[in-house]
Amino acid sequence: MAERKIEWYTDFVNTKYRKKPSDLDVLFRYTPTRGMSDREAVGRLASESSVGTWTTLPGMPEKRIKRLGAKVYWYKKNYAKIVYPKELWEAGSIPQLMSGIGGNIMGMKAVNGVRLMDATIPREFLKPMKGPVYGRDAIRKIFRKKAGPITSTVIKPKVGYTPKEHADIGYQIYMGGLDCIKDDENLTSQSFNRFEDRVNLMRKACIRAERETGTIKDAFINVTSPNLKEMEERIKLVHAHGFSYFMIDVVLSGFTAVQTACDLAHDYKMAIHAHRAMHSTFTRNPDHGITMLFLAKLERLMGVDQIHTGTVIGKLEGSKEEILAMKDMLLSRRVKEIPLLRMSQDFGHIKPTLPVASGGLHPGLLPELFRIYGTSDMVIQVGGGVLGHPKGPQAGAKAVVQAIEAYHEGVSLEEYAKKHKELAQALEKWGYLRPV
């Protein structure tokens, strides 16, 4: 029997292809399985993420479908660049985009692993996207401060307090000088701390602290919900109480929820704090999944105003190289390619998103954190490092403020601690510890 061609994977490899500005240009890292050539492996990635399947399709309208197919235009040493024509995508829909470039290809037997590193997203796709309402401008427009950081504390223990206990501690922290109180990622509406009661009492604490300090206070209250209808109700409630922000667990809630939340944020002129809990399930393995950098890009485009990006020196994983590339990507109008790490991107009308450093921070680490980030235009989020202060949460908040003042004044923490007892007490407990 004559041998028949049953598959067309290598038709998707075209190293002579000249990419168009309207193409989506994606960088992947891949590891072929044993016996699979690079060409065969990357062809499969391009096929499955665009129009192809495992076999040839004799009846298909050849010309049109081939035009819609992805093209591998470059591959070398486990990296490939694949372009996709704009017609393949529903502009502005992140779930649909990810159904292609982050979809079935992640499970193909042809590769031991495939990692979506980053993508240059064309202007056409971005057109319907609104981006953040405030983003970096939250520092000036919400808090009326000239410079960052926006300071916040997540109350610890993570869960367990009643709304009243939560709001009382929140009040003390506000009075210690911090701008915001954040819910933890696993605090939503449990029996011991109902959402409605927390919103209500937190608002009272916030207003009282604003009146007594003459500064602006807000809260990142977690609206993560079992369904979109409930999420919308919770956002409306937070808005009706006069908060400027709400928080959402962006990975756990999913892209559709985030896009819905962002639309509502535009309706209500609110800012969104994006917690990334669960991202490590797909960002941590260097050979597989999706990078945190690309996730952060998607979140900026969808419209979160601030997103957790890591600390380098705190308790959670994240390389300095990626964190810095991500921070620049979030804060810039345009970024250049960093070979094999980041693709170029023009964000056009999409505002910058603030990075959030969180996880194991305490006063002794803050100046080092700002030096690493190269800016204090960010959000800092200190939980244990405030609540664990030997003299209580208010003293903990004061110590954070003092560490920031020392940084802005260019004075060492030891020097500043000579005249600021809360900072001295924090340094005595934690010094410059990098928690693990």
Which residues are known to be catalytic?
156, 275
Q: How far is the CB of 229 from ligand CAP (least distance, A)?
A: 26
Rounded to 5°, the CA angle 131-297-51 comes to: 105
Closest distance between Mg ion and the C-beta of residue 175, in Å?
23
Helix H or strand E segment including 309: none
CA gap 379, 87 in Å, rounded: 38
310: left (phi over 0), alpha (psi -120 to 50) or beta: left
Q: Measured from the CB atom, is 289 or 385 closer to ligand CAP? A: 385
Secondary structure (DSSP) of 388-402: T-TT-HHHHHHHHHH
The neighbouring-strand residues paired with 218 are 180
By beta-carbon proximity to ligand CAP, the closer residue of 120 and 309 is 309
> Whole-angstrom distance between the N-terminal and C-terminal Cα of the chain?
64
Nearer to ligand CAP, 40 or 165 (CB): 165
Sheet containing 71-76: which strands, arranged edge to edge?
Answer: 71-76, 79-84, 24-32, 111-120, 289-290
Q: CA-to-CA distance for 35 and 38, rounded, in angstroms?
A: 10
CB of 153 to ligand CAP, least distance (A): 8
Cβ closer to ligand CAP: 118 or 183?
Answer: 183
CB-closest chain residue to ligand CAP: 383
Binding track, positions 258-287, relative to ligand CAP; x by CB under 6 A: ------------------x-----------
* Residues at the contact surface with Mg ion, assessed by CB under 5 A: 184-185
The verdict on 249 binding ligand CAP (CB under 6 A) reads: no
Q: Where are the alpha helices (DSSP H) in 23-148?
A: 38-48, 62-68, 94-101, 123-126, 138-141
Query: Segment 175-234, which members bind ligand CAP (CB under 6 A)?
Result: 184-185
- Min dist CB 424 to Mg ion, Å, is 27
Among candidates 234, 222, 159, 232, which has minimal Cα distance to 188? 222
Beta bridge partners of 246: 272
With CB cut-offs between 5 and 8 Å by kind, which of ligand CAP, Mg ion, none does residue 434 bind? none
Each residue 340-379 as x (binds ligand CAP by CB under 6 A) or -, in order, gives: ------------------xxxx------------------
Q: Minimum CB separation from ligand CAP for residue 366, in Å?
A: 12
Q: Which does 408 bind (CB under 5 to 8 A by kind): ligand CAP, Mg ion, none?
A: none
d(CA 272, CA 279): 18
Binding residues for ligand CAP, per CB under 6 A? 154, 156, 158, 184-185, 276, 308, 310, 315-316, 358-361, 382-385
